[in-house]
Amino acid sequence: MATEIAKDPIDAHRTATERGGDSGRNSRWKRVQPWTRQLTIRGVTASIIIGSVYSVIAMKLNLTTGLVPNLNVSAALLAFIFVRTWTKTLQKAGFVTKPFTRQENTMIQTCAVACYSISVGGGFASYLLGMNRKTYELSGVNTEGNSSYSVKEPGLGWMTGFLFVVCFVGLFVLIPLRKVMIVDLQLTYPSGLATAVLINGFHTQGDEMAKKQVKGFMKYFSFSFLWALFKWFFSGKDKCGFSEFPTFGLKAWKQTFFFDFDATFVGAGMICSHLVNLSLLLGAVLSYGLMWPLLDRVKGRWYAESLEESDMKSLYGYKVFLSVALILGDGLYNFVKILVSTIVSVHHRVKKAKTGLDDNEKPATEEKQDEMFLRETIPLWLGLVGYLAFATVSTIAIPQMFPQLKWYFVITAYILAPSLAFCNAYGAGLTDINMAYNYGKVALFILAAISPKHDALIAGLAGCGLIKSVVSVACILMQDFKTAHLTSTSPRAMFVSQLIGTAVGCVTAPLSFFLFYKAFDVGNPNGEFKAPYALIYRNMAILGVEGVSALPKHCLQICYGFFGFAIGVNLVKDVGGGRVGKWMPLPMVMAVPFLVGGYFAIDMCLGSLIVFVWGKLNREKAEMMVPAVASGLICGEGLWTLPAAVLALAKINPPICMKFVPS
């Protein structure tokens, strides 16, 4: 999900550049260090700390709702605060410190994002967790196509090995096209550009503004952490504490409409756009406010009253498959749209090159950025050798981990991966939408349909992870190259930072997952850590095996409606123009509350309301302080998860249960 930093990040970048004047630009070019000096021990240490903390936070968000906001800007801010505080402290103690440059800031941000991205996209709450026995049982042990052979329990060893072999392939796949996509095609990559604007802003603003951001972050970090500690004392049993506070009454509470006092989600709501948060609330109202109460009334006619609520042939089946219909409708539309726009755009550029036409000449600043970006090249042979080496290792290792996924499927995937990675990275450069999950879903359906029935689910889920990881990592790398291009950071330093961050992430992500998996009841549909996408992905695979026969009664007809709704909303958004399109919700986001509930949507809408009111009262201060305040709220309660998990593992329970019952 893309984070909105400015209405037009390109204009923001140009304005920031123009503000510096010619002398400022010239001094900036002179100050740029060689790539070996942009990588520092201080920077790597800060990256590992920030990346590890964000891995835990991202894992918590992933396992609770499956919705993780783009934390790139927050990571850049935290890197700035961390190193700035470090250097100021050492200077006060009488030590001489190395100046903190925008290049080092970019390197830390890149490394930290590469690290926590493994927690977000590693499949711990979706395709990998979808293989375990609990998800198999929730999908219905008697469901056709849900084979008991298609079960693989999470393991630290095989998960870490899987991440290493699939994620590193993605780092090498698009290296030969770095110049083409960033310099020649001049793709925008709005999130990468916005991060660069923010980092450049950090290093041109005065010390007074930096102090305010540091103070704001520390203030709300402390509040969030202490508030999480306070809440813990009242959560002695299930359905206890402030996280189950019936804010709008017990009837609304039963339909999951309440404020759960979670600072992490309020902070996430401050980072996400208003459209995302309102789409979540609309999805919650549509599902728990309308659809599920109506479907509950037809119990006994559409599905047996004797079935448990978690049975896939009862109400829970409708919840799962209607959310799948929304996700597939939205994903298919955007997949086709971006694929077509990519083909048209490439054709247009090729035609323009053949006729000798060219766009307006680049400004001197952009020419200088191009020169610095191309000065320290990454050898072509490194990309080719790296891709072939890791693809070979992966082809040998993955069938050993998943015997159901045959070696010839893996080879076919890696033959297709470069073209898929290019299409995805090109589309993301135009639209800021990373479609890696949709490429993974296509692989899931194809492999589930063509594999032997007893192997189909694991083959589909593992193949989905393979394609998704390669395509996603390649896209993230290209987005970070855009940030490097605009902050005059060496591509070599950027690539090494990605390697370090990915390696650390392949270790910290499984450790973060098992911290939650061992301490809490992960995957319980009635618990805190519902991991809704694990069930969604397994049932997508079942659909690939069995087709529509896996659906409950009348579910197919309702799914048609939701699938059509997703496509219709996207059509109106694209055809209706800005005046109409800006009011259209995001169907894929609407699907999240279908399984999770409405409580976290209320938290995130509160975050949106805070940003909106703050912007009306003092726009300039809001733009400066919102990232710091949101990061503090997210990191404080997110970090409390570590001691909470340790206490749970030690069997130390909260002393009080605060619960509300009808009078």
pLDDT digits (tens, 9 = 90+) for 434-445: 778 888 888 888
Q: Assess contact for 572 and 584: CB atoms under 8 A.
A: yes
Does residue 23 lie within any of the structural domains?
Answer: no
Q: Is the pLDDT of residue 420 over 60?
A: yes
Q: Is the pLDDT of residue 23 over 60?
A: no
| Spatial distance between the Cα atoms of 272 and 269, rounded to a whole number of angstroms | 5
Helix (H, G, I), strand (E, B) or coil at 524: coil
| Spatial distance between the Cα atoms of 360 and 345, rounded to a whole number of angstroms | 18
Q: Is the pLDDT of residue 202 over 70?
A: yes
Does residue 367 lie within any of the structural domains?
Answer: no
Using CA atoms, how far residue 56 sits from 47, 112, 207, 531, in Å, is: 14, 12, 31, 15
Domain containing 451 equals 36-354+391-650
- One-letter identity of residue 172: F
Can you tell me the mean pLDDT for 35-56? 89
Q: Which residues are 234's β-sheet partners?
A: none
Better-predicted residue by pLDDT, 387 or 183: 387
Better-predicted residue by pLDDT, 598 or 142: 598
Q: Assess contact for 132 and 65: CB atoms under 8 A.
A: no
Among residues 647, 139, 103, 165, the alpha carbon closest in space to that of 402 is found at 165
Does residue 303 lie within any of the structural domains?
Answer: yes
Using CA atoms, how far residue 275 sits from 46, 288, 340, 628, in Å, is: 33, 20, 25, 21
| pLDDT > 90 in the chain, percent | 29
Helix (H, G, I), strand (E, B) or coil at 235: strand
Position 20 confidence tier, pLDDT thresholds 50, 70, 90: very low
- pLDDT value of position 207: 67
Sequence-ordered alpha helix ranges (H) in 32-71? 35-38, 41-64
Give buried/exposed letters for 634-652 (b at 16+ CB in 10 A, else e).
Answer: bbbbbbbbeebbeebeeee
Does residue 380 lie within any of the structural domains?
Answer: no
- The string of pLDDT tens digits covering residues 514-537 is 999 998 889 888 888 888 899 889
Can you tell me the mean pLDDT for 450-458? 87
Residue with tokens 């290049």: 103
pTM of the shown model: 0.80
Q: Is the pLDDT of residue 6 over 70?
A: no
Position 27 confidence tier, pLDDT thresholds 50, 70, 90: very low
Better-predicted residue by pLDDT, 509 or 90: 509
Q: Given 3-state DSSP classes, what are the helix, strand and coil percentages for the chain, each rounded to the nearest 5?
A: 75, 0, 25
- The string of pLDDT tens digits covering residues 231-286 is 999 988 878 888 888 989 889 998 989 998 989 889 888 888 888 899 999 999 99
- pLDDT value of position 7: 37
- pLDDT value of position 422: 83
- The string of pLDDT tens digits covering residues 358-401 is 554 556 666 676 777 777 778 888 889 999 999 999 999 999 99
Residue with tokens 């006060």: 92
Position 357 confidence tier, pLDDT thresholds 50, 70, 90: low
- pLDDT value of position 634: 86
CB-based contacts of 230, cutoff 8 Å, min separation 6 = none
Q: What six digits make up the tokens of 127?
A: 């395709």
Q: Is the pLDDT of residue 162 over 90?
A: yes
Q: Assess contact for 327 and 155: CB atoms under 8 A.
A: no
Question: Mean pLDDT score of the chain, rounded to an integer?
Answer: 84
Position 12 confidence tier, pLDDT thresholds 50, 70, 90: very low
- Which of 102-111, 209-218, 447-456, 619-628 has the weakest average pLDDT? 209-218
Can you tell me the mean pLDDT for 542-570? 85
Does residue 658 lie within any of the structural domains?
Answer: no
DSSP string for residues in 425-484:
HHHHHHH----HHHHHHHHHHHHHHHS-TTTHHHHHHHHHHHHHHHHHHHHHHHHHHHHH
Using CA atoms, how far residue 497 sits from 171, 178, 265, 269, in Å, is: 11, 16, 29, 29
**What's the total number of domains in the chain?**
1
Highest mean pLDDT among 85-94, 109-118, 179-188, 310-319 belongs to 109-118
Does residue 226 lie within any of the structural domains?
Answer: yes
Q: What six digits make up the tokens of 190?
A: 């709005």
- pLDDT value of position 17: 41
- The string of pLDDT tens digits covering residues 277-330 is 999 999 999 999 999 999 988 888 888 887 777 677 788 888 888 988 898 888
Does residue 202 lie within any of the structural domains?
Answer: yes
